Structure 1
Amino acid sequence: MKIAVYPGSFDPVTLGHLNVIKRAAVSFDHVIVCVMANSDKNPIFTPEERVELIRRVVTTIPNVEVDHSSELLAKYAERKGACVIVKGLRAVSDFEKEFQMALINRKLNPNLDTMFVTASEKYMYLSSSAIKEMAKYEVDLTEFLPREIIEDVRKRMKNRR
């Protein structure tokens, strides 16, 4: 069985993330969407909340599992029996950092490859940070977020004001 891990902060999960999840689910027997800790980011949802939000969004994709971890990605993938890390790329600027991480992960776990999935052109500009900024100003989020979680994001941002 080919298992892939799609790691990220997913704070919140966007339609761009969902696009990558669906495409990975077609290519692999099992896809684990893993909420990872990122010390560079200031999340609005806890890891457990993000897992729940993603689960609601992927309920119709039977070969997708949602998890969270604070361990090193290469070690997590090894523990889960994954052979591939899936990374979504929006722009060339994403590639440099992700390529470096792919090389490090491969050094830590020689059985682990990284597959880069370019974002669908309609989501290339989309980021969770941009979503949070728009939500702060009560912008309509229907073109950016899965409908199942829009109200959760609106409420959280309203409470943070």
Structure 2
Amino acid sequence: MRHEVVIPKGLDEKRIREWAEQQNFAGVPLGLICELLLGLDPEIYTTNERISASRAEGSLFGAMVERNILGKQLEARKLTPEAIRMYEQNVSDWFIGDFPYRRLRVIYARGGRQDLALRVYQSRAESLRTFSAMGKSGQWERAISEAEAWIAKLAVAGERRQDHL
């Protein structure tokens, strides 16, 4: 899925967060918005705009981290369906770290749902490739390789499971 997003000029932190929420509601993943906010071109955006964008990014990223923390707490209380919802939201939002993807892989594999774990890692690979294409591709290569390795393992596991049905 391709997202064409341009961050408006002249916005303060509050307005950037409002803009980000509107973009997210329209289907743009928060992780992508965060990466865009951190990568503002100093030749186009003023120092104050970049500072406001960085602060807004911290708030948006913090909300995704809170979902992971809540998911972990829900898992500890054996509220797995609720934990899954927290992690799946971060997958939809292209969370940059591997935590929600790893947790969902474990949860889905325990339940024999390699197909769902595979979908999660396919989403991870897509988001990482998008981030890589945005610049600084070298920083994403290891994570992309890891996601692709899991995709291959999960695909084989899913095929084995189908053979036994």
Same topology, TM > 0.5: no
Q: Which has the higher strand share?
A: 1
Which structure's CA Rg is the greater one? 2
Bigger helix share: 2
**RCO greater where, 1 or 2, for CA within 8 Å and sep 6 or more?**
1
TM-score for the superposition, normalised by structure 1: 0.28
TM-score (norm. length: structure 2): 0.28
